[in-house]
Amino acid sequence: MAAALAYLILPDRSVHAGFVFLGMLTAGSVLFIVWLPGRLPQQPDRQPDTTGFKWNLKQVLLLTLVFMQLSAVGGLWAYLEPLGIHAGLRAHAAQLLVSAMLFMQVLGGCLGILLVRRVPDYSMLAIAAFLLAGIALGMYITADQGINVFLGLCALFALIYLMLTPFQVRIALQIDPSGRIAGLIPGMQLLGCAFGPLLASQWVSGDNAQPVLLVSVWLSVSALCLIALLHRRAVDRRVGVVGGV
pLDDT per residue as tens digits for the range 99-110: 888 889 989 999
Question: Is residue 32 in some structural domain?
Answer: no
Question: Is residue 3 in some structural domain?
Answer: no
Evaluate if residue 160 carries a pLDDT over 60.
Answer: yes
Whether 162 and 69 have beta carbons less than 8 Å apart is answered as no
Evaluate if residue 3 carries a pLDDT over 70.
Answer: no
Question: Is residue 28 in some structural domain?
Answer: no
pLDDT at 207: 81
Evaluate if residue 71 carries a pLDDT over 70.
Answer: yes
pLDDT at 215: 96
pLDDT per residue as tens digits for the range 44-66: 555 555 556 788 899 999 999 99
Question: Is residue 70 in some structural domain?
Answer: yes
pLDDT at 239: 47
Q: What is the DSSP string of the chain?
A: -HHHIIIIITTTS-HHHHHHHHHHHHHHGGGGGGGS-SSPPPPP------TT----HHHHHHHHHHHHHHHHHHHHHHTHHHHHHHHT--HHHHHHHHHHHHHHHHHHHHHHHHHTTTS-HHHHHHHHHHHHHHHHHHHHHTTTS-HHHHHHHHHHHHHHHTTHHHHHHHHHHHH-TTSHHHHHHHHHHHHHHHHHHHHHGGG-BTTB-THHHHHHHHHHHHHHHHHHHHHHHHHHHHHHHHHH-
Highest-scoring range by mean pLDDT, 19-23, 161-165, 223-227? 223-227
Quote the mean pLDDT of the chain. 86
Total domain count, the chain? 1
Q: What is the mean pLDDT of residues 223-243?
A: 75
- Quote the domain boundaries for residue 86: 64-244
CATH number of the domain that residue 160 is part of? 1.20.1250.20
Question: Is residue 229 in some structural domain?
Answer: yes
Q: What is the band of 40 on the pLDDT scale with cuts at 50, 70, 90?
A: low
Model confidence, pTM: 0.80
Question: Is residue 68 in some structural domain?
Answer: yes
Q: What is the band of 192 on the pLDDT scale with cuts at 50, 70, 90?
A: very high
Question: Is residue 130 in some structural domain?
Answer: yes
pLDDT per residue as tens digits for the range 109-150: 999 999 998 999 999 999 999 999 999 999 999 988 889 999
Nearest to 123 by CA among 230, 195, 47, 40: 230
Q: What is the band of 242 on the pLDDT scale with cuts at 50, 70, 90?
A: very low
Q: What is the mean pLDDT of residues 153-179?
A: 92
Rounded to 5 degrees, φ, ψ at 205 are -130, 110
Nearest to 161 by CA among 207, 111, 211, 92: 111
Question: Is residue 237 in some structural domain?
Answer: yes
